[in-house]
Structure 1
Amino acid sequence: MVNFLLVIIILLIVVIVIQYMSRKRSKAAVSDISTKMDEIIRLETAEKVLLPTGEQELQQLLVQINRLLDHNQKLSADYIKAKDSLRKLIANMSHDLKTPLTVILGYVEKLRYADHLTDEDRHVLMGRLHDKVWSLTGLLNQFFDLVKLESDDYVIPLSKISLNEICKKNILDFYELLLEKKLQVEVAIPERPLYILGNEDALNRVISNLISNSIRYGSDGGVFGLTLQEQDGIVILEVWDKGKGIDEHDQAKVFERLYTLDDARNPQFQGSGLGLSISKRLTEAMKGTIHLNSRPYERTSFTCHFKHITY
C-alpha cells in the first residue's frame, strides 16, 4: 500500500513538473512572439513570426498571426499606393486646370482693359473665351465621371446592342476631322450584326475616346483604321493607326487616371489623361476588356473584347 502511494506521488510530481515546464515553454514562446511582433510593427518590416514549436495550439496561433500580418501589410501597401495615386492625381489635375484658367483670365483681362479693341476683335476674343470655358467644363465633367465610375455602387444598365451600328455612327461623327487630317481611312465592319450586352451611351463614349486618341496621337502615320469582327464567340473591336506609337514603358500606364504622354502637355496635344481611363472602366462595366499593342510606325491598336450574344 505504501509503495502504491509512493508511485502515485511520484507520478503526480512528474505530471506537475511536465506541466510546469510546458507552461514555462509556452510563456517563453508567447514572450518571443510578442517581442517579434513588436519589432515587425515598430520597424514596419514584411517579416513573419517564425517559432519552432511542437504545440498544436501555438502552431495555429502563429498561422493566424502571420495571416493577420499579411493582411495588414497588404492594406498598408494599398494605402501607400492610393496615397501616391491621389498625390499624382491632384498634381496633374492642378496642372490641367491651371493652364486653361490662366488663358481664360488673360482673355477676360484683355476684354476688360483693352479699350482699343474693335467689335470684331472683341467678337473673336469672346469666341475663344467661350471655347476655353467649355473645354474646362468638359475636363471637370470627365473628372467627376471618373470618380462616379470608380464608386462601388455605380451600375450601368446593359441590353442587347448591335456594335456594328455604334461603330458606323462614331466613324461618321469623326468623318470631317479625318478628312481634315488627310488620313487614309480603312474601316472593316461586317454586314452581319454582331450583338453584345452593352450600353449605347457607354459604347459611344469608349469608341469616341479611342478614335479621338488615335487621331490626336497617330495621325503622323497617315492611316486610321477601325476593324470589327467575331472570333470564337468574342466580338473584337480594334481602333488602330500607324503613328509614332507608345513606348513600351508607357504602355502599362496609359489606362491610369490622369496619365498623359509628354506630348499631351504641349498646346498641340491637349489630352486630359482621363479618356483612356474612363474607356477602360466603362469597358469593364460592360463585362469586356481593353488592351493596347504598339509598334511605332507599324501599328498601334486599342482592342476591346466583348462576349458575343445571339439570343
Structure 2
Amino acid sequence: MITLAFCIIVILVIIIVLQYRMQTVRTAQMKKVAERLEAIMTDRTAEKLLFVTSDPALQVLMTKINALLDMNLKSSADNTISQIMMRKMLSNISHDLKTPLTVVFGYVEALSLHQDMDTEERQELLSKVHQKTAQTIQLIDTFFNLAKLESGDTEFPITRVDMSELSRINILQFYDMLSAEGLEVHIDIPDSPIYALGNEDAINRILNNLISNALRYGADGKTVGLRLREEHDMVCVEVWDRGKGVQDSHKNLVFERMYTLDDSRNKSVQGSGLGLTIAKRLVETMGGSIHLSSKPYERTVFSFYLRKMNY
C-alpha cells in the first residue's frame, strides 16, 4: 500500500515538473515573440513572425498575428496613398478655384478703376465675370456632390429604367459638340427597350461624364461610340473612342479623386478630375460596376454594368 502511494506521488511530482518546464518554455517563447513583434512594429517593417515551436496554440497565435501584421501593413500603405491623393486633390482644388477667381478679380478691378469705360466694353467684361463665376460655382458643386456621395448622404431611389431611351437622349445632347469637332459617331442601341435597375438622374450623370471624358481625351481619334447591350443578367453600356487612351500603369488610377491625364491642365481638355470618380461612385451606389479597357489609338472603352430587369 505504501509502495503504491509512493508511486502515485512520484508520478504527480513528475507531471508537475513537466508542466512547470512546459510553462517555463512557453513563457520564454512568448517573451521572444513579444520582443520580435515589438521590434517589427517599432521599425515598421514588412517582416513576419518566424518562430519554430511545437506548441499548437502558439502556432495558431503567430498565424493570427501575421495576418494582423499584413492587415496593418496594407492599412498603412492605403493611408499613405490616401494622404498623397488628398494632398494632390487639395492642390488641384486650390488651382482650379484660384484660376477663375483670379480672373474675376482682375475683371472687377478693371471695372472699378476705369469708370469711364464705354458701355460695350463694360458689358463684355461683366459677361466674362458672369461666365467665370458660373464656372467656379459649377466646380464647387462638383466637389460638394462627390463629398455627399462618399459620405452616403445622397439617396437614389432605385426603379426600372429604360436604358435604351436614356442612352439615346444623352448621346443626342452632345450632337452639336460632336459635329463641331468633326467626329465620327457610332451608336449601337437596340430598337426595343432594355430595362435596368437604377436611378434615372444618376444614370444621366454617368453617361454625361463618360461621354464628356471621351470627347475631352479621345477627340484626337476622331471617333466616339456608344453601345448598349445585355450580358446574362446585366445591362452593359459602353462609351468608347479611338484616342490616345490610358497606359496600363495608369488604369488603376483613372477613377481616383482628382486624377487627370498629363495634358489635363490644357484649357482645351481641362476638367475637374472628378467626373470618373463620381461615375464610379454612382454606379456602385446602384449595385453595379464600372471598368476600363484601353489600347491607345485603337479602342478605349469605359463600360458600366447594372442589373437587368424584366419587362
TM-score (structure 1 length as normaliser): 0.91
Equivalent residue, structure 2, for 1:275: 275
Alpha-carbon spacing, 1:252–1:66, altered in 2? closer, same or farther (3 Å)? closer
Alpha-carbon spacing, 1:244–1:85, altered in 2? closer, same or farther (3 Å)? closer
Provide structure 2 residue ranges, at least 5 long, that are not aligned to the other structure. none
> How far apart are the structure 1 equivalents of 2:308 and 2:43?
52
Equivalent residue, structure 2, for 1:255: 255
Task: Report how far residue 45 of structure 1 moved.
Answer: 1.7
Q: 1:35-46 counterparts in 2 under 5 A? A: 35-46=35-46
Alpha-carbon spacing, 1:19–1:281, altered in 2? closer, same or farther (3 Å)? same
Alpha-carbon spacing, 1:14–1:144, altered in 2? closer, same or farther (3 Å)? same
Alpha-carbon spacing, 1:96–1:34, altered in 2? closer, same or farther (3 Å)? same
Mapped contact 1:190–1:228 kept (Cα < 8 A): yes
Alpha-carbon spacing, 1:111–1:43, altered in 2? closer, same or farther (3 Å)? same
> What does the per-residue CA deviation read over 1:154-177, in whole Å, with 9 as the maximum and x for residues that have no partner?
442110010111112112222222
Equivalent residue, structure 2, for 1:287: 287
Tell me how large the CA RMSD over aligned residues is: 2.1
> How far apart are the structure 1 equivalents of 2:146 and 2:289?
17
Equivalent residue, structure 1, for 2:310: 310
Equivalent residue, structure 2, for 1:203: 203
> How far apart are the structure 2 equivalents of 1:44 and 1:95?
35
> What does the per-residue CA deviation read over 1:63-94, in whole Å, with 9 as the maximum and x for residues that have no partner?
33334333333332332232222222212212
Equivalent residue, structure 1, for 2:157: 157
> How far apart are the structure 1 equivalents of 2:71 and 2:309?
40
Alpha-carbon spacing, 1:5–1:173, altered in 2? closer, same or farther (3 Å)? closer
Alpha-carbon spacing, 1:69–1:299, altered in 2? closer, same or farther (3 Å)? closer
> How far apart are the structure 2 equivalents of 1:150 and 1:64?
32
The one-letter amino acid paired with 2:248 is E
Alpha-carbon spacing, 1:7–1:266, altered in 2? closer, same or farther (3 Å)? same
Equivalent residue, structure 2, for 1:301: 301
The one-letter amino acid paired with 1:252 is N
Q: Secondary structure at the match of 2:264?
A: helix
> How far apart are the structure 1 equivalents of 2:24 and 2:287?
58
> How far apart are the structure 2 equivalents of 1:127 and 1:288?
42
The alignment status of 1:10 with 2:10, answered yes or no, reads: yes
Q: 1:41-190 counterparts in 2 under 5 A? A: 41-152=41-152, 154-190=154-190
> How far apart are the structure 1 equivalents of 2:255 and 2:144?
17
> What does the per-residue CA deviation read over 1:14-47, in whole Å, with 9 as the maximum and x for residues that have no partner?
2332233122212211211221111111111222
> How far apart are the structure 2 equivalents of 1:158 and 1:278?
18
Moved more, 52-61 or 213-222: 52-61
TM-score (structure 2 length as normaliser): 0.91
Alpha-carbon spacing, 1:101–1:62, altered in 2? closer, same or farther (3 Å)? same
The one-letter amino acid paired with 1:247 is Q
Matched-pair identity in %: 45
Task: Report how far residue 116 of structure 1 moved.
Answer: 4.7
Mapped contact 1:155–1:285 kept (Cα < 8 A): no
Mapped contact 1:288–1:306 kept (Cα < 8 A): yes
Alpha-carbon spacing, 1:36–1:102, altered in 2? closer, same or farther (3 Å)? same
Number of positions where the alignment pairs a residue of Structure 1 with one of Structure 2: 311
Q: Secondary structure at the match of 1:239?
A: strand
Moved more, 4-13 or 249-258: 4-13
> What does the per-residue CA deviation read over 1:262-293, in whole Å, with 9 as the maximum and x for residues that have no partner?
21102222211011111111112222222222
Moved more, 218-227 or 254-263: 218-227
Mapped contact 1:218–1:244 kept (Cα < 8 A): yes
Alpha-carbon spacing, 1:27–1:129, altered in 2? closer, same or farther (3 Å)? same
Moved more, 142-151 or 45-54: 45-54
Moved more, 281-290 or 73-82: 73-82
> How far apart are the structure 1 equivalents of 2:119 and 2:213?
37
